[in-house]
Each structure stands twice: as C-alpha cells, then as structure tokens.
Amino acid sequence: MGEERGWERRTVDERLASRAGVDLGGSLIKIAYFSPEGLQVQLFPATSLGETIAYLQARNLHHLVLTGGGSVRHRQAFDIFHVETVDEFTANIAGANYLREAEGQAGFPYVLVSIGTGTSVYRVTEAGGQRIAGTAVGGGTLLGLGRLLTGEMRYVDIVAQAATGDRSLVDVLVRDIYGRDIPGLPGDITASNFGKSLSPRKEDLARALLQMVGEVIATVACLAAQCHQIREVVYIGASLRENDILREVLDSSTRFLGKEPRFLRLGEFVGAVGALVQGLAR
C-alpha cells in the first residue's frame, strides 16, 4: 500500500512539473506552470512563437493546455508537444477563482471583467459562470484610436504618452458646465468625453482616450453587476499591465458607481493559469 501511494505521489509530481497553461492572445503569449518554488509565469509577444516554444522545451514543459484566440490559429506550431485545449471562457473563470483564493480575495458571487481586444463581463458563482455583458471597447480600442490620435504605434508608447497628459484640455468636465460641484456629481467627473479641444497635445489626447475607455468599461461592468445585485467587480487582462492610469480610472469609476473594484496581481495571466488548472483537473 505504501509503495502504491508513493508511486501515485510521484506521478502527480511529474504530471505537475511537465504541464503548462498557454494563453495565445492577439498581442501577447502568456505562460503559467508550477516549479518547486510555486506558480511561475512568463510573457512573450504574440509574434514570438519560436522563442515561446524554445522556452517551454528548455523547462521540459511538454504537456500544454492551450487557450485564447490563437489556440486554434497556431495549434499546428505546437505539434511537437502533447496538447489539449480549453475555451477562453472556462479558462478565465478557473484562473480568476484560483488567483483570487491565492491572493486572499476568495468569495462569491462576483463580476469578472476581462479586458482584451474587446471586453467581456461574466457573472461568477460557486456553481460556475456565465457571460452577462460586454463591449467592443477594450485594449484594441486603446491601440487603434491611440495610433490615430498620437502617431505612436506601440501600446506601451501610447500609455507612456498619457502619463504626462491633461485630459481637461480634451474632455468637458462637470465644472466646465456648472463652475463647481453639484449634488451627486463632483466637478472633475466627465460630462463629455472628447467634448472640447483647447489645442491638445498628443499626450492630452492619449490621457483622454484612457479615461474614455476606462469609463465605458466600468459603466458596462457596474450596470451588469447592478442587474445581478453583485457588489464586487474584478478586472483582469493584459490591457492593465503597466497601465496605472487605466487601473485608476476603473477603480475610481467603479467606486463612483457604487461597486467594489478588485484587481489581481497576476491578472494578465488569468487565462494561462486557468488553462493550467483545468488541465490538471482532467
């Protein structure tokens, strides 16, 4: 009996050590796997399939669970591995639940907001999850409009431009209309996104763009949460990576709308973590 239990333990350890969850997104490839030190994560540009494969091989990660939009499009590139796939919806739910528990945020129900190219909103309970809302406004909007407004081609450069921008030169604020705060509406609340133009610099345009995207996403998420009488809203996605401004807009807008915002430390890896967890459960 003792030998059999030991064999089972070794088998589980080996299975754990050889598996990885891989989220093949439109812009980034996210990897999650377990090492003796715990959960490990890694990012590559979506164009770096060769580098990604070399990374996995170097760590003897030969059993992959793929998710994301590229899990079908780039499936053939991973034929040298043993490959399973899991849909993005299932991976996001599983990954969010795992990371919330790991970060001390466990509890149901909550609304999960996945900010990718567009944005999907899920209701998550102990029994599972369902998509309840969404918007085509997301990271793709930031990239596409950001290129048009600033001339910058890379996402990180658009976000960097916004860091020194002044959105009050682009947006109409409540104080522009009333000259002060009014009951229920602080003066710095947006009355109209891009509603004025006082010779804005590209930095100002980038900052106003981040504001608009964050406000739209928070509004959709909070309305969905209100419909289902849920207080907690959890934001995830690679669009939040090194993007303090978007995070601050989501935080303040969500609180203004009466909901409790949450962010996961490894929020951009939720899909990869979920794929890994789902693969281990099979």
pLDDT tens digits for 37-88?
A: 899 999 999 889 999 999 999 999 999 999 998 877 888 889 899 999 999 9
Answer yes or no: is pLDDT of 1 > 60: no
State yes or no: is 84 an active-site residue: no
Establish if 8 belongs to a structural domain.
Answer: yes
Beta carbons within 8 Å of 198's beta carbon, 6+ residues apart: 169, 170
Task: Encode pLDDT of 148-169 as tens digits.
Answer: 999 999 999 999 999 999 999 9
Residues 174 and 255 in one domain: yes
Residue 251: give the domain boundaries.
133-263
Strands 82-85 and 110-115 come out as unpaired
C-beta of residue 164 within 8 angstroms of C-beta of residue 203: yes
- Is 177:187 a contact under the CB 8 Å cutoff? no
As a whole-number percent, the residues of the chain with pLDDT over 90 amount to: 79
Q: Is residue 127 part of a domain?
A: no
Note whether 142 and 53 are same-domain residues.
no
Phi-psi domain of 258 (left: phi exceeds 0; alpha: psi -120 through 50; beta: other): left
Total domains in the fold of the chain: 2
**Orientation of helix 155-162 relative to helix 244-256, angle to 10°:** 60
Burial class (CB in 10 A: 0-12, 13-18, 19+), 101: exposed
Residues 7, 41, single domain; the answer is: yes
pLDDT for position 10: 38
Question: What's the rounded mean pLDDT across residues 108-129?
Answer: 96
Q: How far apart are the first and last CA of the chain?
A: 24
- 249 plus 277 within the same structural domain: no
pLDDT (mean) for 243-270: 97
Residue 102 belongs to some domain of the structure = no
Contact between 233 and 111 under an 8 Å Cβ cutoff? The reply is: yes
- Position with higher pLDDT, 16 vs 159: 159
Share of the chain above pLDDT 70, in %: 94
Same domain for 188 and 215? yes
Predicted TM-score (pTM) of the model is 0.90
Q: Is residue 13 included in any domain, yes or no?
A: yes
Is 88 inside a domain boundary? yes
Q: State the pLDDT at residue 13.
A: 61
For residue 225, the domain's CATH number is 3.30.420.40
Same domain, yes or no: 79 and 137: no
Q: Which amino acid is at 188?
A: D
Q: Which of 88, 203, 215, 232 is catalytic?
A: 88
Enumerate residues 6+ apart whose C-beta is below 8 A from 136.
Answer: 118, 119
pLDDT score for 4: 29
Give the pLDDT of residue 12.
44
pLDDT for residue 93 is more than 70: yes
Residue 205 within any structural domain of the chain: yes
CA distance 275 to 85: 8
User: pLDDT tens, 168-198?
Assistant: 999 999 999 998 888 888 999 999 999 997 7
Are 236 and 137 in the same domain? Answer: yes
